[in-house]
């Protein structure tokens, strides 16, 4: 894993949630490619182990942990396992998230609303709550939280998801201000429509639905998970040292004209 390194994160440790699939998995692999040891956290234990194995098969170092980000005790345990194994924490990509079934606001069940907020917003809160003290002890670090295009515009039928993803940006900006002087840089990334298992479920695998998704993207295609991973790795790098409290929209132009 020494070829074609751009950032060279040798000796660094990255914690990635939602790393069994999609954007999280691709970003975990990208951190490892740059030499970082990676803590692969996901609700799906087998999936986390599979990503960790992919990293190890490529010569990297990884630890798989089962972690439900909506449960503070799980997050705390995962981060303890991370520091026990690797001794430090430099980067965190708080990315685990769930979709919301399409429903107008009056038809969203209480359970759907609460679950969406608990995972998509609460999960980010619990991660930062336990990551920040570790980074402060290290003397600094970088955190990237996954919001969404749905964090910057409203979407019909996505009220709970939009509420949570807008909340992620508010939480990110507040925390970014609080810890900027301590060397913990906190930013968010707002992906457009990225080709992952989440979008596969959304389109139910039909070509017609997929075309409808593509039609929302001015660039004329869906995004690739690598395109989000690249942004996350850049935000974590010293090159982005002056980027603080930013919500970086990476969406093929989807929200540019809105
Ligand atoms: P995905 O469904 O492909 O992968 C998400 C991963 O998160 C899964 O492995 C899942 O097991 C895990 N996860 C779900 N709930 C969890 C929990 N409570 N605790 C720990 N892990 C949990 O999704 P994706 O498309 O890769 O999305 C990743 C993130 O990006 C999500 O926050 C999503 O909302 C956001 N996002 C995705 C898109 C897109 O178009 N794919 C667009 C904007 C934002």
Closest residue (by CA) to atom 19 of ligand 1?
A: 68
Active site (annotated) includes residue 126: no
Cα(128)–Cα(122) distance, integer angstroms: 10
Say whether pTM exceeds 0.95. Answer: yes
d(C-alpha 193, C-alpha 199), whole Å:
7
| Average pLDDT, integer, range 88-112 | 98
Kindly give the number of the ligand 1 atom that is closest to the alpha carbon of 23.
26
Rounded Cα gap, residues 190 and 148, in angstroms: 4
| Average of per-residue pLDDT across 7-12 | 96
pLDDT in tens, 158-187: 999 999 999 999 999 999 999 999 999 999
Nearest ligand 1 atom to the CA of 222 is: 40
Residues within a 6 A CB radius of ligand 1: 17-18, 20-24, 42-44, 47, 67-70, 95-98, 119, 123, 146, 148, 191, 193-194, 196-199
| pLDDT tens-place string over residues 204-232 | 989 999 999 999 999 999 999 999 999 99
Protein residue whose Cα sits closest to atom 26 of ligand 1 = 22
Q: Quick one: pLDDT at residue 1?
A: 53
Q: Mean pLDDT, the chain, as a whole number?
A: 97
Atom index in ligand 1 nearest the CA of residue 149 equals 43
């Amino acid at each position: 894993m020494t070829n074609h390194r751009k950032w060279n994160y040798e000796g660094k440790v990255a914690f990635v949630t939602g790393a069994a699939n999609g954007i999280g998995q691709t970003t975990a692999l990208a951190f490892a490619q740059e030499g970082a040891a990676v803590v692969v956290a996901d609700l799906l234990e087998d999936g986390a182990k599979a990503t960790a194995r992919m990293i190890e098969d490529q010569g990297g170092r990884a630890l798989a942990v089962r972690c439900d980000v909506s449960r503070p005790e799980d997050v705390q345990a995962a981060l303890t396992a991370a520091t026990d194994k690797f001794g430090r924490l430099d980067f965190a990509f708080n990315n685990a998230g769930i979709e919301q079934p399409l429903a107008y606001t009056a038809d969203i069940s209480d359970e759907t609303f609460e679950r969406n907020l608990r995972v998509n917003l609460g999960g980010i809160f619990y991660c930062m709550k336990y990551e920040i003290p570790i980074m402060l002890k290290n003397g600094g670090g970088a955190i990237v939280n996954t919001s969404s295009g749905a964090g910057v515009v409203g979407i019909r039928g996505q009220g709970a998801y939009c509420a949570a993803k807008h909340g992620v940006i508010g939480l990110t900006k507040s925390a970014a201000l609080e810890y900027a002087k301590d060397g913990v840089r906190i930013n968010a990334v707002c992906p457009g429509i990225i080709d992952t298992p989440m979008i596969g479920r959304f389109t139910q695998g039909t070509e017609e639905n997929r075309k409808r998704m593509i039609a929302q993207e001015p660039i004329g295609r869906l995004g690739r998970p690598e395109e989000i991973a690249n942004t996350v790795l850049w935000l974590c790098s010293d090159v982005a040292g002056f980027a603080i409290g930013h919500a970086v929209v990476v969406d093929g132009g989807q929200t540019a004209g809105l």
